[in-house]
Structure 1
Amino acid sequence: MRSSTGVPLAVLDRLSLDVAALHATDSALHLGGLVVLEGEPPSRVRVLEHLRRRVGLLPELAHRLSGGPGRPRWEPDPGFDPDRHLYESAGGAGPSALAAELLRQPLPRDRPLWGLWLVRRAGGGRWALCYRAHHAFQDGAAAVATLERLLGPEEAPRGRALTFRPPRPVDWAAVLPEFRPARRVTWWPALDAPPAQAYTAAFADVDMARLHALGRRTGATVPQLCLALTTEVLRALHPDGWGPDGPGHGLALRANLGISVRDPDDPRPHLGNRVAVAGVDLPCGEPDPDERLDRLGRALDHTRLARLADAHRVVLRKLPYRIGRLTLSRSVDARYTPLGVADLRVRRPLGFAGTPATGVYALPVMVPGQPLFVAWVTHRRRLHVTFLADRSLAGAERLPEAWESALVAHERRAEAGAFTRTGSGAGAS
């Protein structure tokens, strides 16, 4: 196929491939979602028939990586066949064991960098479908939109905007301080152990009614509450480190929150990585929970995130790859930004052949050396939280319980009128 049919990789696509090369296995830079359903699993033939019908809605899925290191591009795969992208797994006793298996699965480079796994056992009489893609091939928003088309309602889907908002002139005076390098982290014990670069996942589920009720009492949005609960989880993981005599007292942990910078007129809205990051300081060392929530409300302010998205969109459009490559090592250094967070919203109910999904769990990427990534997915009336941790992180199996305990503690404080109403803003999508 002639190169003229190809689409050159954007800077973020190429940098994602570079980050993947830093890992022991390329699969660490794969992302996607695990969709859990109840009942008996369908046959592979039935899933393949469904997949063949739906991939026509997503022409980007037929693009493969091509070209040499100097001129990589996405080009239509002349041998594209959905059958080569449908895999099977025997599964395991539950989502955690299943995720550990799926996180190791490769995506062959001789075909488009995505796959759908039919998982026959997901614990408790359940089965699952898992969609995974390379982070160079898709970002989180594109992967969610792909899931909605593959497993959403049969009717023709409405177009979904994958941008944070339409581009606007950048207020550079206000946004330039955001580009200052993060402070080096020396007070978090999770960074003391050498990373294993092997990962484990744990999950939590929350009824959205609880979060909405808490939001009404505190004035916080659901993403702000999720960041607050993440902060409480980190405090519980190393309680001595954040106390009055601890090295992190009064300090914060920097987290990267993805924000979309995809152009609204992108002709291939489901292809490529178009996500920049907004730095969010999780105030783990702040002793007052009211102040912690208030700080996170300001960090997740809609105006701030929109302004950052506008600025990153302009910078990335003009950023030469060589410059991006030079800054890569600092941008993925866990000593400066030790964890990632993601807020994902599935706006169309997922299921298969009339069986609704009972859970949708994110499988995020892992930056080399980072001990933890926390991602939450809103689907129907539930919030599904994924804690993806490097196996060197001691106590990672306690994170779901700590999340629930933190939510209960916030509910009790809110009922007692302890929280003042934080500044509200729209969260990232």
Structure 2
Amino acid sequence: MEHLSALDAGFLEVEDADPHISMAIGGIAVLTGPAPDFDALIDLIADRITAEPRLRQVLRIRPWDLGAPEWVDDPAFDITHHVHRVAVPRPGDDAALHRLTADIMGHRLDRNRPLWESWVIEGLAQNRWAVLTKIHHCMADGVSAARMLGRLFDETGGLRVVSPDTPRPASAPSLSLNPLRWMNSAWRTSTEVANVAVQAVHGAAEIAGGLIRPAASTLNGPVSDMRRFALAEVSMADVDKVCERFGVTVNDVALAAITDSFRSMLMNRGETPRRTSLRTLVPVSLRGSAADPRAGDPDNRVAAMLPYLPVDLPDPLQQLQTVHRRLTTAKNSGQREASSIFVSAANLIPFAMSAWTVRAFSRLPQRGVVTLATNVPGPRHRLQIMGREVVRLAPIPPLGAQLRTAVAILSYADHLTFGILADYDHAPDVDDLATGIARAVARLADLSAVPHRSTALGTLALVVG
């Protein structure tokens, strides 16, 4: 039996604190038709699920939280409880698919069964069909969920496990008989530990301040139990062109596009975009290298950064450069180290204390963080399910902790896809948010072809906050 970590169990506590939310993450694959025989697809999944034991396990909850929940084999496992078949009404367009996606993601998973389900969706236009899979966040983060789904559906198992930005583990120190080298090594080690400690304290202060200070917008608050879903798909060639021209990362471009679209959303709602309007939760993967045998284990290994996205800036290049600088600052500020240390420390105290604390804090009003933006690396080649090509792969983020919108980003083949889940009552303009993201990336791609603007970025970095 394997126990949930404090972080894994925290997603259960967050869900328990608000009856209107579901802490499930998901993905939707759109494929060329015709759809395969449903029974044959179930047989395929049943066969491959043997390689993913977690998908056949249920949670055993200890009375009064006297111990962490445990994963145990489900003796009554029945795959037909988890794989469903549904059709969208004609004409089977994207709007119909998005409405169904929102409805499915709005419902909680049954904790009496393994915490996942797949929906085979038929009736899509252009002779297409789709598979939507949702997994509870207590089981996996975005990276490990992508790996699990890749092994479950794709013949090549092509979804990557580790982000290319993940640092490689330090090499083991070599032994030496020279005492001067011992002293030098000890001094370097103590200095590094002290620096990390100072960084962590500074990062903890920033995270605490970000949670306490209310954001200058109405984009967060209580949510209903209904959802809206939209997605934006942009050319990876355009993103790569922007990255190469302006010396930024794919994540910088994605967050800059989200910034510009949220700025338009605020203005359309009659709100003035301010510097403190869009504090964003940006998860960071803590998984090791692909050579680590546990790199793809089904669990959560993430830290958090809480940068402000610069919705107060009107110029797209200013937004891009400011996002790049703020993310760099956040990475060096100790926020990741602080959140990682906090999670590690939570594993050392009695589970009942950590569970009750998370549950109590989850019930408090949270006005500091406005949205979530999580980026999961995907395959740069086409996937297939039973010989049918996946023409679109879109991520679906969770929605909780009084966030009314959340954005997940996934690279797939020659596209970068943004999946947006939002509260039905408070985000009727979610389609405009998706359109704005695609428009912002296209505009940055156009600007990357303008020679004189690239030389101005160095100056902009000095004058933009």
Match of 1:315 in 2: 342
Q: Which moved more, 1:404-413 or 1:213-222?
A: 404-413
Q: Are 2:434 and 1:400 equivalent residues in the alignment?
A: yes
Query: Which one of 197, 200, 211 corresponds to residue 172 of structure 1?
Result: 197
Query: Which one of 31, 39, 61 corresponds to residue 37 of structure 1?
Result: 31
Distance in 2 of aligned mates of 1:62 and 1:108: 13
Instruction: Compare the two structures and name the one with the higher helix fraction.
Output: 2
Q: Are 2:351 and 1:357 equivalent residues in the alignment?
A: no
Match of 1:346 in 2: 378
Match of 1:127 in 2: 129
Q: Counterpart amino acid of 2:243?
A: G
Q: Which moved more, 1:80-89 or 1:200-209?
A: 80-89
Distance in 2 of aligned mates of 1:409 and 1:196: 34
Query: Which one of 114, 117, 127 corresponds to residue 116 of structure 2?
Result: 114
Query: Which one of 236, 239, 256 corresponds to residue 228 of structure 1?
Result: 256
Q: Counterpart amino acid of 1:212?
A: D
Matches within 5 A, 1:362-401: 362-391=395-424, 392-401=426-435
Is the CA contact 2:217–2:277 (under 8 Å) kept in the aligned structure 1? no
Is the CA contact 1:373–1:388 (under 8 Å) kept in the aligned structure 2? yes
Partner SS for 2:240: helix
Match of 1:7 in 2: 2
Partner SS for 1:378: strand
Q: Show CA shifts across 1:123-143 (max 9, x none).
A: 442111111111112211111
Q: Which moved more, 1:371-380 or 1:85-94?
A: 85-94
Match of 1:47 in 2: 41
Summarize the Cα distance change of 1:83–1:164 in structure 2 as closer, same or farther, 3 Å threshold.
Answer: farther
Match of 1:199 in 2: 227
Distance in 1 of aligned mates of 2:325 and 2:199: 15
Distance in 2 of aligned mates of 1:175 and 1:388: 32
Query: Which one of 205, 208, 213 corresponds to residue 236 of structure 2?
Result: 208
Structure 1, unpaired ranges of 5+: 1-5, 424-429
Is the CA contact 1:257–1:340 (under 8 Å) kept in the aligned structure 2? yes
Q: Show CA shifts across 1:280-339 (max 9, x none).
A: 210111344433222211233399279654554443222134246435665785411011
* Total equivalences in the alignment: 412
Match of 2:280 in 1: 255
Match of 1:190 in 2: 219
Match of 2:310 in 1: 283
Match of 1:22 in 2: 17
- Give the deviation of 1:229 after TM superposition: 0.4
Matches within 5 A, 1:69-88: 69-71=65-67, 72-88=69-85
TM-score (norm: length of structure 1): 0.85
Is the CA contact 2:263–2:273 (under 8 Å) kept in the aligned structure 1? no
Distance in 2 of aligned mates of 1:343 and 1:140: 8
Summarize the Cα distance change of 1:166–1:399 in structure 2 as closer, same or farther, 3 Å threshold.
Answer: same
Distance in 2 of aligned mates of 1:149 and 1:177: 40
Across the aligned residues of Structure 1 and Structure 2, the Cα RMSD in angstroms comes to: 3.1
Q: Counterpart amino acid of 2:74?
A: D
Q: Show CA shifts across 1:82-105 (max 9, x none).
A: 343212222353331221232134
Distance in 2 of aligned mates of 1:82 and 1:21: 26
Is the CA contact 2:406–2:422 (under 8 Å) kept in the aligned structure 1? yes
TM-score (norm: length of structure 2): 0.79
Distance in 2 of aligned mates of 1:150 and 1:215: 33
Considering only CA atoms, is the larger Rg found in Structure 1 or Structure 2? Answer: 2
Is the CA contact 1:364–1:375 (under 8 Å) kept in the aligned structure 2? yes
Is the CA contact 2:13–2:355 (under 8 Å) kept in the aligned structure 1? no
Query: Which one of 86, 91, 111 corresponds to residue 88 of structure 2?
Result: 91
Q: Show CA shifts across 1:12-31 (max 9, x none).
A: 122111111133345x2111
Summarize the Cα distance change of 1:41–1:241 in structure 2 as closer, same or farther, 3 Å threshold.
Answer: closer
Summarize the Cα distance change of 1:353–1:333 in structure 2 as closer, same or farther, 3 Å threshold.
Answer: same
Query: Which one of 144, 147, 156 corresponds to residue 145 of structure 1?
Result: 147
Partner SS for 2:149: helix
Distance in 2 of aligned mates of 1:354 and 1:217: 38
Summarize the Cα distance change of 1:239–1:216 in structure 2 as closer, same or farther, 3 Å threshold.
Answer: same
Q: Counterpart amino acid of 2:111?
A: R
* Paired-residue identity, %: 22
